[in-house]
Structure 1
Amino acid sequence: MTTYPSLPVSTGYISFTIPSTGQPCQTFYKVIGDLSASKILPLVALHGGPGAGHNYLLSLTDLYDKYGIPVIFYDQIGCGNSTHFSDTMGDENFWTIEMFMSELKNVISHFGLQDTGYYILGQSWGGVLAASFASQVPQPRGLKKVVIASGPASLPLYAEGTRALLAELPEDARKTLEECDKKRDYESPEFNVANMVFMKLHCCRLNEWPEKVTETFENIGKAKEAYMTMQGPSEFIITGSLKTWEGISKAHNISVPTLLTNGRFDSVQDSSMYPWFNEISKVKWVAFEKSSHMAHWEERDRYMEVVGQFLAGQ
């Protein structure tokens, strides 16, 4: 084992089969903590995007440092250190929630967590994945608690919320984004500058973004297949296969204790979080007043306290 920077860390790859590819795939993982020695159940962290990679979730290592909760990070197929598929742009039959759930089940099986028990935290798109997984019938074996962190219950509701946020942007940025959208211009310097105005207000409000957050957007830039196919060209232009997705109709199937988190300035507004609160029976919702989409960085200490106490408590 190495240290990160002074915590036990192990990394490796998990073989994963996607029948339609006709080739072997690998999922990269990083574990903070010693799963064999810990008496506390581990947390499986599901990153956003799709395609963001695990990097920006590494602040969650605080949960091990402060509460002894081991954390299993992994790069979902198509990004980071896992297998990439550069020829799948626009292939909605390949990039599906079901494929990502199969990968998650494979990770859980690799570590034998279905027998020992585990928690899940899904952030942004990862929250959609976590909720989809937890709402299966029967409930996934070994799952004990779920955290849905800024994961919308409905993409139409999410899109409605982002339209309201766009209307409140400074006029020059708003007009630029509107004009670029009309022209389907999502690559120009003008679009990127105006887009960053939105991101600084509603994605991460820290004056200087942590290196791991910056790496997230670099990951998406290097492998856009999943993001473009399922999401679209930006956080507020949803043209991909997820544009009509909703988890509200199955949310009542989530029977384990569930924590919802989002930020006051979040791109995932309260309107798209409320259905989870309304439909899940054992649920708690904490909104972070000084945060947008990344409360795990923006209000890091308080965030870890809220999540740590939820997971570690009885």
Structure 2
Amino acid sequence: MTLAASAKGTVPFGEHKTWYRVTGDLRGGRPALVVLHGGPGSTHDYLTNLAGLSGLGWPVVHYDQIGNGGSTHLPGRDPGFWTVRLFLDELANLLEQLAIADDYVLLGHSWGGVLAAEHAATAPSGLRGLILANSPASYPMWLKELDVLRSLLPPGVDETLRRHEAAGTTDSDEYAQAVRVFYSRHLCRLQPWPREMLASFYEVYNDPTVYFTMNGPSDFHVIGTLRDWSVIDRCPDVTAPTLVISGRHDEVTEASVRPFVELIPDTRREVFEKSSHVPHLEEPERFREVVAGFLRSLA
């Protein structure tokens, strides 16, 4: 169950606006849990059930990264506008605008975890803990792992995917159907998909500017500006206690998260055996237990 928001609004970010949602009391004495969604180019919607953690005493902040959801959309911007630095600056601005920069925990999912790790590597004094959920430490390493997962799809599926990728026809219905075969195994194994998951997908569909520019036409065909991105060399600089999460059937494989576990000095590891990429939806009770236990340990 998602609790009702305590506050919603936008904060200025240069000429633009970042939409946010707060559940719980930011002045209640415990650090705020700030949730960074995936994509890049998705929205907070598929992560809204994390607001339930506020019922245990931790205020939860969701936000839509610039370019999507309730934040400023900029479909006409040059691809060079959309950089990791832009989103790091947006996160830092949000923390300052909400006056929580001196006491917070980050939970980054997928791309959001990559962003959170980059932020944490600067050792900000107010960061109390870091949760990296279903996030790759290196896109080049992850792409090799995705090739393995693709090779294990039913006969003909990967062939169809690659034919359209080579031809530049990834907007075809046939490509979309083949993508769903991969997603049903490695993105979300629930059938049907939860409403909040669909809501984020619709948002990407309505404005794919950021997703297409930085990622590509699908989660596993990364041809955007992130294709060579890695945070492996940044991991030893992360000083905050860190929880690393993934699903047994995750598109982000064990090898893709291993650098976080091996190189961040203070890490804990949890694998969700019945989940793929969204264990907070696929195993919500256990996910809540694990995250709550980690938050308690920070106290």
C-alpha distance after superposition, 1:144-166 (max 9, x if no partner)? 10000011100011111111111
CA shift, 1:217, in A, is 1.0
Note if 1:61 corresponds to 2:51: yes
Paired with 2:294 and 2:66, the residues of 1 have a C-alpha distance of: 29
1:244 aligned counterpart, secondary structure? coil
2:6 aligned counterpart, secondary structure? strand
Q: Alignment identity in percent?
A: 38
Note if 1:16 corresponds to 2:7: no
Choose the corresponding residue for 1:107, options 69, 72, 94.
94
C-alpha distance after superposition, 1:39-75 (max 9, x if no partner)? 221100000001111000101012112x221100000
RMSD: 1.2
Which amino acid letter does the alignment assign opposite residue 292 of structure 1?
S
Structure 1 segments unaligned to the other structure (5+ residues): 18-23
C-alpha distance after superposition, 1:58-106 (max 9, x if no partner)? 01012112x22110000000000100001126x1x21111110000001
Which amino acid letter does the alignment assign opposite residue 45 of structure 1?
V
Which amino acid letter does the alignment assign opposite residue 25 of structure 2?
D
1:70 paired residue number = 59
- Structure 1 length normalisation: TM-score? 0.92
Paired with 1:199 and 1:230, the residues of 2 have a C-alpha distance of: 19
1:98-247 equivalences in 2 (<5 Å): 98-115=85-102, 117-136=103-122, 139-247=123-231
Paired with 2:101 and 2:198, the residues of 1 have a C-alpha distance of: 34
C-alpha distance after superposition, 1:167-195 (max 9, x if no partner)? 00011322211221221211111001110
Structure 2 segments unaligned to the other structure (5+ residues): none
Choose the corresponding residue for 1:42, options 29, 32, 38.
32
Q: State the number of aligned residues.
A: 298
Aligned residues of 1:52 and 1:217 also touching (Cα < 8 A): yes
CA 30–279 in structure 1, closer or farther in 2 if over 3 Å, else same: same
Paired with 2:201 and 2:7, the residues of 1 have a C-alpha distance of: 25
- Structure 2 length normalisation: TM-score? 0.97
Paired with 1:208 and 1:8, the residues of 2 have a C-alpha distance of: 26
1:145 aligned counterpart, secondary structure? strand
1:85-96 equivalences in 2 (<5 Å): 85-88=74-77, 91=79, 93-96=80-83
CA shift, 1:7, in A, is 4.1
2:17 paired residue number = 26
Aligned residues of 1:101 and 1:133 also touching (Cα < 8 A): yes
1:13 aligned counterpart, secondary structure? strand
Aligned residues of 1:8 and 1:34 also touching (Cα < 8 A): no
Paired with 1:140 and 1:60, the residues of 2 have a C-alpha distance of: 24
Aligned residues of 1:54 and 1:73 also touching (Cα < 8 A): yes
Which amino acid letter does the alignment assign opposite residue 94 of structure 1?
F
Aligned residues of 1:9 and 1:33 also touching (Cα < 8 A): yes
CA 5–196 in structure 1, closer or farther in 2 if over 3 Å, else same: closer
1:69 aligned counterpart, secondary structure? coil
CA 111–228 in structure 1, closer or farther in 2 if over 3 Å, else same: same
Paired with 1:248 and 1:218, the residues of 2 have a C-alpha distance of: 32
CA shift, 1:119, in A, is 0.3
